[in-house]
């Protein structure tokens, strides 16, 4: 097990939902910087969805806990970090 984690290091998640301070800012990062595809932006629901490879979404982004909210305290419960593992281009089709 990873120190401080309740999950073994081989744990894999299919998708996650993140509370962000600004949906468009998060889309700009996950799409513009990391390269995920934008699968949908729903301004009325304060949410957006991004993915890789055409999946409906790997990451949901929302401001449901408040727009512009500051980061939680360091000792707050919840997901503190995650890794995105991308295939090596040599191994793609």
What's this model's pTM, rounded to 2 decimal places? 0.75
Place of tokens 């699968």: 39
Digits of tens for pLDDT over the chain (93 positions)? Answer: 445 567 777 877 778 999 999 999 999 999 999 899 999 999 999 999 999 888 888 899 999 988 988 888 888 887 777 777 766 656 554
Task: Express each pLDDT in 57-75 by its tens digit.
Answer: 889 999 998 898 888 888 8
CATH of the domain spanning 15-65:
3.10.180.10
The rounded distance, in Å, linking the Cα atoms of 27 and 36 is 9
Per-domain boundaries in the chain: 15-65
How far does the chain reach from its first CA to its final CA, in angstroms? 34
């Amino acid at each position: 097990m990873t120190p401080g984690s309740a999950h073994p290091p081989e744990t894999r998640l299919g998708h996650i939902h993140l509370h962000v301070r600004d949906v468009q800012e998060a889309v700009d990062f996950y799409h513009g910087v990391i390269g995920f595809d934008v699968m949908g932006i729903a301004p009325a629901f304060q949410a957006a969805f991004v993915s890789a490879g055409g999946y409906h979404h790997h990451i949901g982004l929302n401001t449901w806990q408040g727009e512009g909210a500051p980061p939680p305290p360091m000792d707050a419960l919840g997901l503190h970090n995650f890794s995105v593992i991308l295939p090596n281009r040599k191994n793609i089709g």
